[in-house]
Amino acid sequence: MEDQLTVALANLEESNVLAQVNERLKAGHDPLAILKACQEGMIRVGKRYETCEYFISDLMMAGEIFRQVADLLTPKIKRSDAPSRGKVVIGTAKGDIHDIGKNLVVALLKAANYEVYDLGVDVPPERFVEVLKESGAPVLGLSALLTIAFDTMKQTVAALDTAGIRKQVKVMIGGGPTTEETVAYTGADAMGRDAQSAVTLCNQWIRASV
């Protein structure tokens, strides 16, 4: 029998999802079980996007719903009870303050059980290096909607090399204007054409590093 919470999230029924989550928490349900049901819903959303049933606006909606669910569940879940799949540092490169795409990637990464260090927007290269060293994360995500931030992306990748950690960190870039040429220009490892492909890249890289 299908979990109605999974179905509601897959159908982007925001009020229904939040009502069910609150009801289950009040009834004493395991927060991890609630999270799993929501993750299944996110997986369905991703599949519907891949088959063109859903569009980017639907992914954004799903990401926002999941963010609200995470806000409700996080205080109820002990970190040790929810082992992460891996660590990812992400942020919008310095010179750009757009974050819609980045926030969507963050939401989907969290839904996939990643521990995400979201540094926000207008992030300088040295800040990325600092957090990567502190966290030991093997993946860095750089987002930009403005082409002027491409130079900062390039500087960030160069900063990883200067810091001696480039070989330990895979770098993915994303954002409306990014192309394969941007990957070559910045020195990144790959680009995520959308939020779902960003998660797929992380899955591949994390598995390869184990």
Q: In what order do the strands lie in the sheet with 86-92?
A: 114-118, 86-92, 139-143, 170-174, 190-191
Distances 92 to 20, 80, 116 between C-alpha atoms, Å? 33, 29, 14
Distances 164 to 103, 120, 206 between C-alpha atoms, Å? 29, 24, 20
Q: In this structure, are 129 and 198 located in the same domain?
A: yes
Query: One-letter amino acid identity for 28?
Result: G
* Domain of residue 131, residue span: 84-209
What is the C-alpha to C-alpha distance for residues 105 and 140, in angstroms, rounded to an integer? 12
Q: In this structure, are 106 and 76 located in the same domain?
A: no
Q: In this structure, are 109 and 195 located in the same domain?
A: yes
CATH number at residue 167: 3.40.50.280
CB 62 within 8 A of CB 44: no
For the chain, residues with pLDDT lower than 70 are 77-83, 210
What is the C-alpha to C-alpha distance for residues 72 and 18, in angstroms, rounded to an integer? 9
Q: In this structure, are 74 and 128 located in the same domain?
A: no
Cβ-proximal residues to 74 (8 Å cutoff; 6+ apart), any chain: none
- Give the end of a domain, one of 80, 113, 130: 80
Q: Reduced to 3 states, what is the DSSP secondary structure of residue 164?
A: coil
What is the C-alpha to C-alpha distance for residues 172 and 174, in angstroms, rounded to an integer? 7
Q: In this structure, are 129 and 65 located in the same domain?
A: no
Q: In this structure, are 76 and 88 located in the same domain?
A: no
What is the C-alpha to C-alpha distance for residues 75 and 78, in angstroms, rounded to an integer? 8
Q: In this structure, are 186 and 94 located in the same domain?
A: yes
Cα dihedral sign, 77-79-80-83: positive
- Give the end of a domain, one of 41, 60, 80: 80
Q: In this structure, are 112 and 16 located in the same domain?
A: no
Directed axis angle between helix 56-73 and helix 195-209, to 10°? Answer: 60
Cα dihedral sign, 164-168-173-179: positive
- Give the end of a domain, one of 80, 104, 139: 80
**Amino acid 193: pLDDT:** 82
N-to-C CA span, the chain: 35
Q: Reduced to 3 states, what is the DSSP secondary structure of residue 55?
A: coil
Q: In DSSP terms, which residues pair with 27 in a beta bridge?
A: none
Q: In this structure, are 71 and 113 located in the same domain?
A: no
Q: In this structure, are 187 and 159 located in the same domain?
A: yes
What is the C-alpha to C-alpha distance for residues 162 and 176, in angstroms, rounded to an integer? 28
CATH number at residue 74: 1.10.1240.10
Q: In this structure, are 181 and 101 located in the same domain?
A: yes
What is the C-alpha to C-alpha distance for residues 112 and 203, in angstroms, rounded to an integer? 9
**Amino acid 78: pLDDT:** 59
Q: In this structure, are 49 and 134 located in the same domain?
A: no
Domain count, the chain: 2
